[in-house]
C-alpha cells in the first residue's frame, strides 16, 4: 500500500508529528494559522499556499502564531525563542524576503554558538518557498540558496521530493543549529510514497537519484527532475548518466560527488540559482580540487542567467534551466 503524499502535505505532516512529539516546537509566520477547526479571524489560509493548514486546530494559537507583516520582528523573535529553549519553525513565506531580517539570521542566529563558546544553542528552522516557474516575478522567484550556503553556522536544506522533505524537516527541527529550509514552490504538488511514521534523513548525505557510468549531473531541488528527464533522453543516445541530488547544501556531501566523478570522469553541475558564486560553481571547484585527475573533459555548469527572474512567462521558461539544456551540456562533456 503505497502512501502517496504531495510535498506540501509531507511538510505539514512533519510539522504535525514534531509538534505532537515535542511541546517546545512552535510555528510562526504570516497567515500560517487557519484551516480545520479554526475559528473567526484565525480561520485564514494555513499559509499562503496552505502548507500549515489545520495545525492551529490541533495545537492552538499559542503554538501556531500568526505574526505581523514584519519579518525583522518575528524572525528575530524566533531566533530569540530558540536561544531560550524553544524549537521555533518560522515560515518566511518567500525566502526572497530574507533581506529585511538577514541580520537576525546571519549575524545573530548563525553566530551564537561560535561567539558564546558553544554554550548557546539556536535550534530555529526558517522555512519558505524558493525558485521560479510560478509566474510570481523577480521578488518572489529567486533561488537564493548560494547566499545562505555561504554563511558558516547556517545549515541549508533544499529537498527535491516529498519523502526527503518530511525526513529532512524533522531532522531540521531536531537539529540544534539554525536551518534554512528551502521549499521549491513548483514541487509542492509533486507526490511520492511517504511513510506515515516519523523518520529523519541526516544532513550531508546526497541521494543518488539515478545510477550511471558515462557522466555525473550534480544538482538539487526542482532541477533534480529536469536532470532525470535529461538522463532519460540521453539514455536513448547510449549516454548513461548518474544524477546526484545534494539534498543539503550545507553541509554538502562532496564525497559522493567525487566518488561518482571518479567513476564517470565527466561532470555537469546544474543550479537554478544565478551563475556567479553558485552551488554549481562551488561543486565544480571542489571536484577540480579533489578529482582533477579523473576528469575526461572540462566540467560544465547549467544555471539561470545573471539576471533577475523575468515576469514574462515565455522569458521565465527560458530563464530556468531546461532538461534540453542539461542534456546538451552532458553531450558537450562527451566530446
Partner 1 sequence: MSDSQIKMIVMPKWGLSMSEGKVVKWLAKEGAKINVGDELLEVETEKIASAVEATDSGTLRRIVGEVDTVYPVKQLLAVIADDSVSDSEIDAFLASYVPPAVDEEGEAEKDAYEYIDLPIGTVRYAKYGDGGKTLLFIHGFGGDLDNWLFNVNTLAENHTVYAVDLPGHGRSVKSLTDASLAGLSKFVLEFMDALSIDSANLVGHSLGGAIAMKTAITAPKRVKTITLIGSAGLGNEINMGYIDGFIGSESRREIKPFLEELFFDRSLVGRQMIDDILKSKRLDNVTDVLRHLADTVFKGGHQAEKLGDAAAASGVPILAIHGTDDHIIPAAHTETLKGKASVHVMGDAGHMVQMEKSKETNKLISDHIH
Contacts of 293 (CB under 8 A, 6+ apart): none
Q: Binding to partner 1 by residue 208, rule CB under 8 A?
A: yes
Scanning 7-15, 132-140, 204-212, 306-314 for contacts with partner 1 by CB under 8 A, the matching segment is 204-212
Residue 93: is it exposed, middle or buried by C-beta count within 10 angstroms (0-12/13-18/19+)?
buried
Question: In the complex, what is the shortest distance from the CB of residue 122 to partner 1, in angstroms, rounded to a whole number?
Answer: 23
Task: Please give the Cα distance from 111 to 134 (Å, whole number).
Answer: 34
Which CB atom, from 211 or from 317, has the smaller least distance to partner 1?
211
Which CB atom, from 148 or from 203, has the smaller least distance to partner 1?
203
In the annotation, is 184 catalytic?
A: no
Among 211, 237, 289, 317, binds partner 1 (CB under 8 A): 211
Could you tell me which of 278, 30, 29, 276 has the C-alpha nearest to residue 148? 278
Q: Binding to partner 1 by residue 23, rule CB under 8 A?
A: no
Contacts of 254 (CB under 8 A, 6+ apart): 283, 286, 287, 290
Question: In the complex, what is the shortest distance from the CB of residue 203 to partner 1, in angstroms, rounded to a whole number?
Answer: 10
Q: Is the dihedral of CA 36, 165, 230, 282 positive or negative?
A: positive
Scanning 53-61, 138-146, 200-208, 287-295 for contacts with partner 1 by CB under 8 A, the matching segment is 200-208
Contacts of 240 (CB under 8 A, 6+ apart): 212, 213, 214, 234
Q: Binding to partner 1 by residue 261, rule CB under 8 A?
A: no
Among 129, 201, 252, 301, binds partner 1 (CB under 8 A): 201
Question: In the complex, what is the shortest distance from the CB of residue 176 to partner 1, in angstroms, rounded to a whole number?
Answer: 17
Q: Binding to partner 1 by residue 192, rule CB under 8 A?
A: no
Among 84, 119, 197, 314, binds partner 1 (CB under 8 A): 197
For every residue of 251-292, DSSP letters joined together read S--HHHHHHHHHHH--EEEEESS-STT-HHHHHHHHHHHHHG
Q: Binding to partner 1 by residue 199, rule CB under 8 A?
A: yes
Which CB atom, from 22 or from 317, has the smaller least distance to partner 1?
22
Contacts of 332 (CB under 8 A, 6+ apart): 297, 300
Scanning 38-46, 74-82, 205-213, 272-280 for contacts with partner 1 by CB under 8 A, the matching segment is 205-213
Q: Binding to partner 1 by residue 120, rule CB under 8 A?
A: no
Contacts of 228 (CB under 8 A, 6+ apart): 209, 210, 243
Q: What is the set of active-site residues? A: 140
| Contact residues for partner 1, defined by CB under 8 A | 1-2, 167, 195, 197-202, 205, 207-208, 211, 235, 238, 255-256
Amino acid at each position: 500500500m503505497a502512501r502517496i503524499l504531495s510535498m506540501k502535505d509531507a511538510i505539514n505532516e512533519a510539522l504535525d508529528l514534531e509538534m505532537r512529539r515535542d511541546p517546545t516546537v512552535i510555528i510562526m509566520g504570516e497567515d500560517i494559522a487557519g484551516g480545520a477547526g479554526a475559528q473567526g479571524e484565525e480561520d485564514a489560509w494555513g499559509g499562503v499556499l496552505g502548507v500549515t493548514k489545520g495545525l492551529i486546530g490541533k495545537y492552538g494559537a499559542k503554538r501556531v502564531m500568526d505574526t505581523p507583516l514584519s519579518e525583522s520582528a518575528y524572525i528575530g523573535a524566533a531566533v530569540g525563542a530558540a536561544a531560550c529553549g524553544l524549537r521555533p519553525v518560522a515560515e518566511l513565506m518567500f525566502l526572497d524576503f530574507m533581506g529585511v531580517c538577514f541580520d537576525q539570521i546571519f549575524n545573530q542566529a548563525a553566530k551564537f554558538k561560535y561567539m558564546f563558546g558553544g554554550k548557546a544553542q539556536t535550534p530555529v528552522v526558517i522555512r519558505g518557498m524558493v525558485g521560479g516557474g510560478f509566474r510570481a516575478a523577480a521578488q518572489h522567484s529567486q533561488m537564493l540558496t548560494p547566499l545562505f550556503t555561504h554563511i558558516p553556522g547556517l545549515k541549508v536544506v533544499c529537498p527535491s521530493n516529498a519523502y526527503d522533505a518530511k525526513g529532512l524537516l524533522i531532522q531540521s527541527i531536531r537539529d540544534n543549529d539554525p536551518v534554512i529550509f528551502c521549499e521549491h514552490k513548483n514541487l509542492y504538488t509533486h507526490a511520492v510514497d511517504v511513510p506515515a511514521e516519523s523518520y529523519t534523513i541526516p544532513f550531508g548525505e546526497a541521494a543518488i537519484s539515478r545510477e550511471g557510468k558515462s557522466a555525473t549531473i550534480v544538482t538539487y531541488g526542482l532541477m533534480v527532475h529536469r536532470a532525470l528527464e535529461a538522463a532519460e533522453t540521453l539514455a536513448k543516445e547510449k549516454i548513461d548518466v548518474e544524477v546526484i541530488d545534494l539534498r543539503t547544501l550545507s553541509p554538502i556531501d562532496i564525497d559522493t560527488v567525487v566518488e561518482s566523478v571518479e567513476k564517470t570522469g565527466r561532470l555537469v553541475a546544474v543550479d537554478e540559482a544565478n551563475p556567479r558564486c553558485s552551488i554549481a560553481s562551488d561543486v565544480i571547484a571542489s571536484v577540480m580540487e579533489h578529482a582533477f585527475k579523473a576528469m575526461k573533459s572540462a566540467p560544465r555548469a547549467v544555471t539561470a542567467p545573471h539576471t533577475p527572474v523575468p515576469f514574462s512567462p515565455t522569458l521565465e521558461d527560458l530563464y530556468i534551466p531546461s532538461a534540453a539544456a542539461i542534456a546538451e551540456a552532458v553531450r558537450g562533456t562527451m566530446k
